[in-house]
């Protein structure tokens, strides 16, 4: 696809495709096992939506982290080794609506019968861990400037503390989804009652703040388990992951975030953050990314509108 003013990075899909197939195979096996034995083994421990100092931190062991970084299946769109963009999905088998997370817009349409097809040039910008009193207003102004609707995956505790920011996002045409109440990195392995509270307390917080009932959920860090998938399905929440993760939560530098996000193709789900700490790098990157993606002819879309809350 032609870009204006920016050379398109080289891409490597083979490793991602193999990783996707391995993920689905592992997911299917684990879900089958869970039907007989309520196992809470985590399926996917990918990098992803993690908060900064204000949120709980991920405690991956050094050995596990080294193993992740060494894997040829975890590479960026440019083919770089670990530490660059994590592209979660290429082409994967059809799944029922609630059997596994969705990773792209085409995946979303396949799993939600009756959903109209997105435009051929659509991308979905998702923004996690807010609302934040400093960065959410700044990012909202930026989105308004470039006419770029986004989907905000809201933390319930933040929605309770800053309800006006949730209302502001809704009033400006953005979509709101559930991202747990306190962003626990070990959410999939919590007892079912605690896991349920994380989901439902966030639903209640968003209803009170914004007047809408979310219909999508993203697990902190993109970590899922069979029990987590069953729980989201039981509460009519579709699990949503992402395609491109610039790891902006780790503050890798604005240039890294820009290069990662500019690797977007039509149908991709982009991940970034407005909460969890200092998001100046993300903000600076979006000032470059939003106009450049639009100049390439990509169109920002949101997920289908949330349902009015039942009073």
Query: Mind telling me the catalytic residues?
Result: 128, 273
Check: CB of residue 225 under 8 Å from CB of residue 41: yes
Please, which residues have CB within 8 angstroms of residue 121's CB and are 6 or more apart in sequence?
A: 266, 297, 298, 299
Please write down the long-range contacts of 59-64, taking CB distance under 8 Å and 24 or more positions apart.
59/185
Residue 300 three-state SS: strand
Check: CB of residue 232 under 8 Å from CB of residue 177: no
Half-sphere exposure of 259 (CA within 13 A, CB side): 18
Please, which residues have CB within 8 angstroms of residue 209's CB and are 6 or more apart in sequence?
A: 159, 160, 163, 166, 167
Check: CB of residue 282 under 8 Å from CB of residue 136: no
E-only strand ranges, 195-310: 212-213, 216-217, 223-224, 238-239, 244-245, 269-273, 299-301, 307-308
DSSP state of 4: S
Tell me how far apart the alpha carbons of residues 128 and 220 are, in angstroms, rounded to a whole number: 9
């Amino acid at each position: 696809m032609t870009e204006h003013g920016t050379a398109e990075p080289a891409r490597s899909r083979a490793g991602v495709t193999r990783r996707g197939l391995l993920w689905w195979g592992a997911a299917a096996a684990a879900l089958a096992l869970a039907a007989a034995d309520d196992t809470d083994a985590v399926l996917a421990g990918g990098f992803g939506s993690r908060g900064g100092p204000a949120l709980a931190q991920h405690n991956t062991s050094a050995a596990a982290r080294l193993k992740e970084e060494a894997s040829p299946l975890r590479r960026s769109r440019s083919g770089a080794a670990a530490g660059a963009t994590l592209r979660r999905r290429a082409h994967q088998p059809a799944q029922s609506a609630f059997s596994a997370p969705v990773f792209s817009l085409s995946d979303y349409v396949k799993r939600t019968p009756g959903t109209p097809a997105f435009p051929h040039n659509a991308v979905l910008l998702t923004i996690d861990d807010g609302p934040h009193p400093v960065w959410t207003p700044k990012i909202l102004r930026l989105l308004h400037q470039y006419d770029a609707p986004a989907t905000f995956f809201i933390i319930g505790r933040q929605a309770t503390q800053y309800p006006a920011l949730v209302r502001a996002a809704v009033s400006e045409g953005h979509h709101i989804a559930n991202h747990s109440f306190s962003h626990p990195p070990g959410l999939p392995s919590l007892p079912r009652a605690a896991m349920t509270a994380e989901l439902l307390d966030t639903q209640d917080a968003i209803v009170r703040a914004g007047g809408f009932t979310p219909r999508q959920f993203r697990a902190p860090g993109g970590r899922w388990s069979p029990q987590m998938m069953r729980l989201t399905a039981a509460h009519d929440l579709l699990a949503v992951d992402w395609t491109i993760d610039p790891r902006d939560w780790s503050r890798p530098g604005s240039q890294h975030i820009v290069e990662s996000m500019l690797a977007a193709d039509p149908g991709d789900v982009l991940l970034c953050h407005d909460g969890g700490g200092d998001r100046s790098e993300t903000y600076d990157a979006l000032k470059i990314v939003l106009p450049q993606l639009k100049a390439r002819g990509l169109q920002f879309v949101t997920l289908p509108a949330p349902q009015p809350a039942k009073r």
